Amino acid sequence: MCWDRLFVEGAGKKKGGNSMITFFACLVLLVVGFFTYGKLVEKVFRVDNRQTPAVAHPDGVDFVPMKTWRIYLIQLLNIAGLGPIYGALAGACWGPVVYLWIVFGTILGGGVHDFLSGMMSERHDGKSISELVGIYMGKVMTFIMRVFSVVLLVMVGVNFSVGPAKLIGMLTPPVVGTSFWLAVILIYYLLATFLPVDKIIGKIYPIFGICLIIMALGIAGAILINPAYELPELTAAAFSVVHPKGLPMWAMMFVTVACGAISGFHATQSPIMARCLTSEQEGRTVFYGAMVTEGIIALIWAAAGVTFYNGVGPLSDAIDALGQGGVVYEISTTLMGPVGGVLAMIGVIACPITSGDTAFRSARLTIADWFHIDQSSVKKRAALSAPLLVVGAVIATALPWDILWRYFSWSNQTLAMMVLWTGAVFLFRFGYPPVCCFMAALPATFMSAVSMTYILQAPEGFQLSTSIAYPVGVIFAAACLVLFVVQTYVRNRDSAGTAEVRA
C-alpha cells in the first residue's frame, strides 16, 4: 500500500472564510468544566491526606509511586490511543451536533466515570474494576464483571495487535508481512504485561502521550489559521443533518464516540494508575483531567474531519475508501507536512499498541485480584501473563475477529453504565447527600438507555425498528433509576450495609 495514493480528490477546497465560534465555545466549556465541575466532583468525593496504596506498600511491580505529570500522561495514553481520533471522525458523520456529546459527555459522564473508577480503586487498595463492582453490587455482579472484564480486555488487546500489524505489514517488504509483525507485537505485549509498570509503560507512554497532544494541537492550529477551511457551526439546521448511511443518531452516535466522551474501557485502566498515586489530591488531574484532554482531542478531530472533507458525505466516503487510518494520515500530512506524517504514523501504529498492552496488563491484574494471586512474584506474574498472550494469539489468528469486534462498542458502553451505577452506590453507602449520588446516577441512567437502545437496533444486535428500540431503552433506563432509588433512599440506610474501605 502506498500512502501517497491516499488523497481524496476535492478534500479541503476553499469555502471562503473561517468561522469558529462553536468550536471555541466547546473548547472553553471543556476547560472550564475541568476547573468547575471537576472540582465539584473532587469535593463531593472528599479527597484527604490518607496514605495511597503506592505509598503504603510499594512492590516495585504494580504499586510504584510516580510523579503526577507522568501518571497523567500514562493515563491519557492508556484511555486514549486512537479512540478519540477514530471515534470522533466516525461521529462527525452526524455533523457538528457531535460536539455536544463530546463536551457534555466528557464533563458530566466521562470525567465522573474515570474519576470515580480511579479513586474508588485507590480507596480499595488498588483493586480492579470487577472487584469494585462486586463490592457494591453483590456477588452475582462480581462474577459477571470478572468474566466480562477479562473478555473485554482480551478483545481490546487482540484488536490493537492485529490492526497495527496489518498497517506495518503494508509498509514493509512482503518477506516480513502481517504474521511477523503480529508476533513482534505480541512479544512486546508479553513484556509490557509482565514487567514492572515503570520499566516500559512508565518510560515510553509519556513520550507517545505528548505526541498525541502535539498532533491534535497541530491539526487544530492548521485548520484554524488557514482561511481555506470553514469550521461548521452548531445551528438549528445542524440538528437535522442526516448520517450519509442513514444511521440513527440515537443511540448510534453515543456508542460510536466512546473514548472522546465516555468509555467503560477507561474503568479497566484507571486502577493501574490508582496504584501509582502518591496523594489523593492527584486524582482530579490524573483521572478527570486526562478525560477532559481526551475530549479536547476528540473535539479537534471531529471538527477537522468534517471541515477538511467539506461535509459529512465526503467524510463518510473518505472513511469508506481509505479507512480511518488513511483519513488520519491524509489530514495530518496535508495540514502538517512531513512532521504530520510522522505523527500520523505514530498515531495509527504506536497508539493502538500502547492501548493493547495495558489491556493485557489490566487483564492480568483482574485475574490476580479474582484468585488472590500475589503479583510481586516473578513466577506468578509469568503464570498469568503467558497464557493471556497465548489466548490472544489464538484469537488473533484463528477467529473471525472482524465480526467479534462489532460487539466491543456495545460492551464498552455497557461497562460504563455498570461502573457509573457502582459509583452511585458507593457515594450512597458512605453518606453522601442524594444530590451528590445523582452526579453518578444520572449519567448512569443515560448510559442505560444508550446501551439498551443500541443493542436492540444495531446490525450486530436484534435489528429492531426504532419504534421498538427507543421506548424499550427509555423504560429500561427508568427502571434502573427506580431500582437504585428503591434500593438506597427508600429502604433503611442501615440495610445497605458497609463496605471495607481503608481508614
pLDDT digits (tens, 9 = 90+) for 288-304: 999 999 999 999 999 99
What pLDDT sits at residue 99? 96
Yes or no: say if 267 and 114 are a contact pair by the CB < 8 Å rule.
yes
| Tally of CB atoms within 10 A around 352 | 24
Examine the pLDDT at 495 and tell me if it is beyond 60.
no
> Structural domain of residue 222, as residue ranges?
3-408
What's phi and psi for 117, nearest 5 deg?
-65, -40
Examine the pLDDT at 7 and tell me if it is beyond 70.
no
Residue 502 placed within a domain: no
Percent of the chain clearing pLDDT 90 (strictly above): 56
Examine the pLDDT at 172 and tell me if it is beyond 70.
yes
What pLDDT sits at residue 430? 81
What pLDDT sits at residue 444? 97
Question: In this predicted model, which residue has the larger pLDDT, 17 or 184?
Answer: 184
Please report where in the chains the cell 477507561 appears, as a residue: 266
Find the Cα–Cα–Cα–Cα dihedral 140, 141, 143, 146, rounded to 10°.
180
Yes or no: say if 377 and 160 are a contact pair by the CB < 8 Å rule.
no
Yes or no: say if 236 and 104 are a contact pair by the CB < 8 Å rule.
no
Q: Categorize the per-residue pLDDT at 493 as very low, low, confident or very high, splitting at 50, 70 and 90.
A: low
Residue 269 placed within a domain: yes
Examine the pLDDT at 470 and tell me if it is beyond 90.
yes
Alpha-carbon distance of 365 to 62, in angstroms, equals: 9
Yes or no: say if 117 and 267 are a contact pair by the CB < 8 Å rule.
yes
Please report where in the chains the cell 464498552 appears, as a residue: 412
What pLDDT sits at residue 446? 98
Examine the pLDDT at 419 and tell me if it is beyond 90.
yes
Question: In this predicted model, which residue has the larger pLDDT, 480 or 343?
Answer: 480
Residue 498 placed within a domain: no
- Cα distances (Å, whole numbers) of residue 319 to 160, 165, 296, 316, 325: 19, 20, 21, 5, 9
Greatest mean pLDDT range, 18-27, 140-149, 460-469: 460-469
Give the total number of structural domains in the chain. 1
Residue 341 placed within a domain: yes
Mean pLDDT lowest among 221-230, 265-274, 431-440, 471-480 = 431-440
| Tally of CB atoms within 10 A around 31 | 13
Average pLDDT, integer, range 361-368:
93
**Cell numbers linked to 322:** 481509505
Alpha-carbon distance of 412 to 368, in angstroms, equals: 22
How would DSSP label each residue in 155-218?
HHHHHHHHHHHHHHHHHS-GGG-HHHHHHHHHHHHHHHHHS-TTTTHHHHHHHHHHHHHHHHHH
Yes or no: say if 452 and 472 are a contact pair by the CB < 8 Å rule.
yes
Question: In this predicted model, which residue has the larger pLDDT, 467 or 165?
Answer: 467
Q: Categorize the per-residue pLDDT at 9 as very low, low, confident or very high, splitting at 50, 70 and 90.
A: very low
Examine the pLDDT at 123 and tell me if it is beyond 90.
yes
Cis peptide, bond prior to residue 251, ω within 30 of zero: yes
Residue 359 placed within a domain: yes
Examine the pLDDT at 274 and tell me if it is beyond 50.
yes
| Tally of CB atoms within 10 A around 41 | 23
The CATH number given to whatever domain includes residue 369 is 1.20.1740
Alpha-carbon distance of 432 to 116, in angstroms, equals: 14
What pLDDT sits at residue 399? 67
Residue 281 placed within a domain: yes
Question: In this predicted model, which residue has the larger pLDDT, 240 or 124?
Answer: 124
Average pLDDT, integer, range 271-293:
97
Examine the pLDDT at 257 and tell me if it is beyond 50.
yes
Residue 467 placed within a domain: no
What pLDDT sits at residue 170? 73
Phi/psi class of residue 16: alpha, beta or left (left: φ > 0; alpha: ψ in -120 to 50)? left
What's phi and psi for 215, nearest 5 deg?
-60, -45
Yes or no: say if 83 and 354 are a contact pair by the CB < 8 Å rule.
no
Average pLDDT, integer, range 409-432:
90
Residue 491 placed within a domain: no
What value does the mean pLDDT of the chain take?
A: 88
Please report where in the chains the cell 491524509 appears, as a residue: 330
Average pLDDT, integer, range 208-216:
88
